[in-house]
Amino acid sequence: MDEVSIQERLLAGTTCFGCGPDNEKGLRLRSYPAEGEVRATFRPWPEHDNGLGFLNGGIISTVLDCHTAAAVLHEADLRGWKPYEGLPLSYVTAGLDVRYLRPAPLQEECELVARVVDADEARMVAVADLVHDGKVRATATAEWKRWRPRT
């Protein structure tokens, strides 16, 4: 895609393994707004093998976590809920419930679709699916909480 991703726009300079634009060895997930949801594609690497020729569950969890982050950060940006000064993120993962429904391919591109289902400034909940060949391979519900400095 030619447009700027949510990560490039809102997480510039971060090094998250899953979605940090400045982590050259990371997965470099790129998510884009699309009519009330956030979408991305992900192509696994051979190193992401679960030992049986399918996509490793930890990598699936990582991309679902990072993709819900994109949905939450995009929602926060739309609502004007900015990070506190000097902090790179406005929300952090408080919980992630991943359900593996069927094997995900190791050598083919998968789609990620996420949407925020509950939002207030202190807490958001997002759901995301990893889809291949029209079938949901894994789904996640993520709780995100506002990150602020503690004294």
What is the predicted pLDDT for the residue at 87?
A: 78
What is the predicted pLDDT for the residue at 2?
A: 63
List per-block mean pLDDT (blocks of 10 residues) for the chain, which spans 151 residues: 88 94 95 96 96 97 98 95 82 97 97 98 97 98 90 67
Domain boundaries, the chain: 35-146
The contacts of residue 16 (CB under 8 Å, 6+ apart) are 23, 26, 66
- In this structure, which long-range contacts are made by residues 5-14, counting pairs with CB atoms below 8 Å and at least 24 apart in sequence? 5/30, 5/31, 5/32, 5/70, 6/30, 6/31, 6/32, 6/33, 6/38, 6/70, 6/73, 6/74, 7/31, 7/70, 10/73, 10/74, 10/77, 11/73, 11/88, 11/89, 13/88, 14/88, 14/89
Give domain 35-146's CATH superfamily. Hotdog Thioesterase (3.10.129.10)
What is the predicted pLDDT for the residue at 151?
A: 67
Task: Tell me the per-residue pLDDT of 68-108, one tens digit each, with 9 for 90 and over.
Answer: 999 999 999 999 998 888 777 789 999 999 999 999 999 99
Q: Which amino acid is at 23?
A: N
In this prediction the pTM is: 0.94
